């Protein structure tokens, strides 16, 4: 009878571990991925801004090849997750994701970047909607920004 109680106690501890600790581990992994994505996007933005400082008349999309020497120290372009567009009419810079937004990324960007007016997403009608919902302005269709993409506007 005693071995059965030991087995039941052991199974209870294992079940408790899976019920409590695994969700914490998943949340920690998600937080690490979100921080990685945000850092990557901000490094990409910095590379584009550095390129524009050296080439102030540039408009349209600046290619990854053109940005290669402008990446901040320690960063490289790790894939095609981000893009950019400089509006020829207004010279306004758009840095955006190539896929739909993750709300945790938007929230973390807001925490790090601090300006809710210039961080947001593109809605289905083609407008930029800021993080705080106060700015609603058209996004240039030539930029090719997909619906629900994360967008940072400005230099």
Query: Could you tell me the pLDDT band of residue 117, with boundaries at 50, 70 and 90?
Result: confident
Residue 142: count other Cβ atoms within 10 Å of its Cβ. 13
pLDDT value at 20 more than 70: no
CATH number at residue 99: 3.30.450.360
Chain-wide mean pLDDT for the chain?
82
Of the candidates 83, 100, 68, 102, which has an alpha carbon nearest to the alpha carbon of residue 152?
A: 83
- Entry pTM: 0.79
What average pLDDT does this structure show over 11-20? 68
Q: Work out the average pLDDT over 10-32.
A: 69
Please give the pLDDT value at position 14. 67
Domain that holds residue 10: 2-153
The predicted pLDDT at position 78 comes to: 64
Question: Tell me: the pLDDT tens digits for 53-69?
Answer: 999 999 999 998 899 88
| Terminal C-alpha separation, the chain | 72
| Contact indicator for 105, 95 with CB cutoff of 8 Å | no
Structure token digits, residue 51: 């390129």
Domain count, the chain: 1
Alpha carbons 5 and 74: distance in angstroms, whole number: 55
Mean pLDDT of 95-115: 80
Q: pLDDT (tens digit, 9 = 90+) per residue, 80-101?
A: 789 999 999 889 999 998 888 7
pLDDT confidence tier of residue 39, bands split at 50, 70 and 90:
confident
Half-sphere CA count of 65, side-chain side, radius 13 A: 0
28 vs 108: which has the higher pLDDT = 108
């Amino acid at each position: 009878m005693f071995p059965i109680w030991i087995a039941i106690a052991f199974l209870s501890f294992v079940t408790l571990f899976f019920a409590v600790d695994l969700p914490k581990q998943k949340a920690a992994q998600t937080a690490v991925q979100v921080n990685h994505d945000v850092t990557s996007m901000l490094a990409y933005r910095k590379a584009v801004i550095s390129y524009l400082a050296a080439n102030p008349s540039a408009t349209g999309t600046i290619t990854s090849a053109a940005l290669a020497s402008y990446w901040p120290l320690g960063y490289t372009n790790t894939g095609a997750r981000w893009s950019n567009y400089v509006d020829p009419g207004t010279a306004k810079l758009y840095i955006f994701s190539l896929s739909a937004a993750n709300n945790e990324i938007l929230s973390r960007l807001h925490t790090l970047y601090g300006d809710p007016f210039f961080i947001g997403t593109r809605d289905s009608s083609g407008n930029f909607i800021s993080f705080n919902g106060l700015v609603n302005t058209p996004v240039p269709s030539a930029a090719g920004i997909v619906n629900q993409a994360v967008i940072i506007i400005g230099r």
